[in-house]
Amino acid sequence: MRPWIYANCWYMSEHESAAMWKMYARTEEAVCIRSSFLKLRNLLPEKADVHCVKYIDYSKNVISLDNFTGPFIHKRLSFEHEREVRALWINWNGVTSWQVEKGILPQSTKLPIPAEGGIWVNVDLIKLIDKVYVAPTAPDWFKEAVEATIQRFDFQFSVVRSSLDESPMW
C-alpha cells in the first residue's frame, strides 16, 4: 500500500523545538508556520485522514492491522521527540478504504500509478496559518523578505523571529 499513501507531516506542541529547527531547517533561511490540529483536519478534504503518530517499542508492541492506516501512524519510540501529526491521503482511484481493508476489490479495479513527488491538495492558507516563524538564526534581510512576500500576496499573517536564540532571562 505504501505507493498509494501520501503523508504530510507536522510537529505538534505548544512550544518550538530547537531539535526540529536543527533537523528540518537545512539553512538559516527557513520558516515554519503555526496552525492547529483542528484547523488542519477541518481544512483538508474529508478523504484525508489526520492522526497523531503513536510511538511504540516494536519489540513489545504490535501494530493492529484492523485499520489500514496502522502501519502509517506508528513509529519507533526513538522518534518520540518529533511529536508528529500525519495527514494521510490515499489515492485509491475510487476504491473505498473499507474495500481495501477487507480485501474486496471489484474485478475491474486498477489501482492508479503512484504520483511521483506527491500530490497537491488545495487548502485555504488564510484559514490554516496563524503565524509564520523565521528561523532563530536567520539574517534580518530574510525576515524582511518573508514579510514582503506575505504582503505581496495580501496575506495578513504575522511574521516573528523564533525566540530560541534569545538570551535567557536569568
The verdict on residue 169 lying in a domain is no
The verdict on residue 166 lying in a domain is no
Calculate the CA dihedral of residues 31, 24, 33, 50 and round it to 10 degrees: 160
The verdict on residue 8 lying in a domain is yes
The C-alpha cell of 117 is what?
A: 513527488
The verdict on residue 113 lying in a domain is yes
- Do the strands 131-134 and 158-161 form a parallel or antiparallel pair, or are they unpaired? parallel
Q: What is the pLDDT of residue 111?
A: 58
The verdict on residue 117 lying in a domain is yes
The verdict on residue 99 lying in a domain is yes
Coil, helix or strand for 170?
Answer: coil
> What is the per-residue pLDDT across 106-165, written as a single tens digit (0 to 9) for each?
555 555 566 677 778 889 999 999 999 999 999 999 999 999 999 999 999 999 999 887
The verdict on residue 88 lying in a domain is yes
Domain count, the chain: 1
Q: In what side-by-side order are the strands of the sheet with 84-90?
A: 5-11, 84-90, 49-52
**Full residue range of the structural domain in which residue 121 is found:** 2-161
**Mean pLDDT score across all residues of the chain:** 85
The verdict on residue 39 lying in a domain is yes
What count of other Cβ atoms lies within 10 Å of the Cβ of residue 88? Answer: 19
DSSP 72: G
